[in-house]
C-alpha cells in the first residue's frame, strides 16, 4: 500500500482515516514499512498519523532525543492535534516519553513497544561499519526473533543509510543521546493510561526493561508476545493490533444514552 506523503511547512507526514489521532513515532532505522500493518488496520478506526522524524536533517547540536521531541511538539502544534494516542517504537518510544513529560495536555494515551529510555543495546554500541553489508545484515537480524524478517529490502534500506558518513555520525549521536537520557526518575509523572507491548525475545530492550517501565509508570499495563523481538508491530502485527485496539477501546468516549 502506497501512502501520500503530505507536506506542511517543514513537516512531512502521512495522515489517513478519521477520528482521534493515533500518532506513530518510528525508531532510528525506522521507515513507513515498519508500520504498514498497523496503519492499514487502524485507519478504519482512527486518524493515523506518521510524521517523518528528521533523524538526519537536524544540525548535530540538536541531533538528540530532546531535539526530536521538540520537533514532535512543533508538528503537533502545527497540525493542532488533541486527544492524541501516541505510540513509539524503539527510539520513537523514547522521543514519545520526552515529549509526553513536557506536553502531557495533548496526550490521551501512550503506547511503548521496545522503547529506549531506561536501557538498550543498539546499533550505537559499536560503529556501524560503512560498506560492510554482512555486518549490517547481522545487526538488522538481531532486531527480530525470526532472522528471516530482515528481508533483503530492509537490510538494503539500513545499508544505504550507513554508507553515508554524515548519517552514520548522526546515528551515533542519537544512540549516545538515548543512552545518556535516562528517564527513570521522571516516569512516575506520567498520568495517562500507558500500554507496554514487548517482544519476549527482544535483545535490544530486553524484557526486564519492560518490567521496569511497568513498575515506574503508574497507570501502565504490560503485555509480552512470545517468539517476538524488538519490533512487535512488524513481526507479529495481528497480535499487536488486537492488544492495542483492546486498550484503545477502553478509552473510547462513552456513547450518550438517550432516554
- Cα 74 to its chain centre, rounded Å, is 18
Listed in sequence order, the residues at least 6 apart from 95 whose beta carbon sits closer than 8 Å to its beta carbon are 25, 53, 65, 68, 69, 72, 88
- Burial of 61 from C-beta contacts in 10 A (0-12 / 13-18 / 19+): exposed
Strand partners, 88: 25, 112
pLDDT for residue 1? 63
Listed in sequence order, the residues at least 6 apart from 144 whose beta carbon sits closer than 8 Å to its beta carbon are 150, 229, 230, 231, 234, 235
pLDDT for residue 130? 60
Q: Would you say 56 and 80 are in contact if contact means Cβ atoms under 8 Å apart?
A: no
pLDDT for residue 122? 61
pLDDT for residue 215? 97
Q: Would you say 56 and 170 are in contact if contact means Cβ atoms under 8 Å apart?
A: yes
Q: Global pTM?
A: 0.92
CATH of the domain spanning 6-119+181-249: 3.40.50.1820
Q: Can you state the angle between helices 152-162 and 133-141, rounded to 10 degrees? A: 120
Which residues of the chain register pLDDT less than 70?
1, 122-131, 254-259
Give the residue from 25, 193, 204 showing the smallest Cα distance to 109.
193
Amino acid at each position: 500500500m502506497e501512502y501520500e506523503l503530505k507536506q506542511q511547512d517543514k513537516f512531512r507526514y502521512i495522515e489517513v482515516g478519521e477520528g482521534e489521532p493515533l500518532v506513530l513515532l518510528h525508531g532510528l532505522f525506522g521507515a513507513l514499512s515498519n508500520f504498514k500493518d498497523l496503519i492499514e488496520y487502524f485507519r478504519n478506526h482512527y486518524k493515523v498519523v506518521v510524521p517523518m522524524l528528521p533523524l538526519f536533517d537536524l544540525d548535530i547540536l540538536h541531533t538528540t532525543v530532546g531535539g526530536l521531541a521538540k520537533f514532535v511538539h512543533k508538528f503537533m502544534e502545527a497540525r493542532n492535534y488533541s486527544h492524541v494516542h501516541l505510540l513509539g517504537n524503539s527510539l520513537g518510544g523514547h522521543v514519545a516519553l520526552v515529549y509526553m513529560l513536557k506536553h502531557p495536555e495533548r496526550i490521551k494515551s501512550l503506547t511503548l513497544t521496545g522503547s529506549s529510555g531506561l536501557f538498550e543495546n543498539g546499533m550505537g554500541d559499536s560503529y556501524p561499519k560503512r560498506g560492510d553489508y554482512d555486518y549490517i545484515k547481522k545487526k538488522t537480524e538481531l532486531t527480530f526473533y525470526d532472522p528471516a524478517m530482515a528481508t533483503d529490502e530492509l537490510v538494503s534500506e539500513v545499508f544505504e543509510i550507513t554508507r553515508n558518513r554524515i548519517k552514520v555520525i548522526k546515528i551515533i549521536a542519537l544512540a549516545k543521546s538515548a543512552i545518556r537520557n535516562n528517564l527513570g526518575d521522571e516516569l512516575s509523572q506520567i498520568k495517562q493510561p500507558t500500554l507496554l507491548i514487548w517482544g519476549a525475545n527482544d535483545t535490544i530492550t530486553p524484557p526486564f526493561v519492560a518490567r521496569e517501565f511497568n513498575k515506574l509508570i503508574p497507570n501502565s499495563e504490560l503485555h509480552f508476545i512470545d517468539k517476538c523481538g524488538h519490533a512487535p508491530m512488524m513481526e507479529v502485527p495481528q497480535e499487536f493490533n488486537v492488544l492495542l485496539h483492546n486498550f484503545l477501546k477502553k478509552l473510547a468516549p462513552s456513547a450518550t444514552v438517550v432516554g
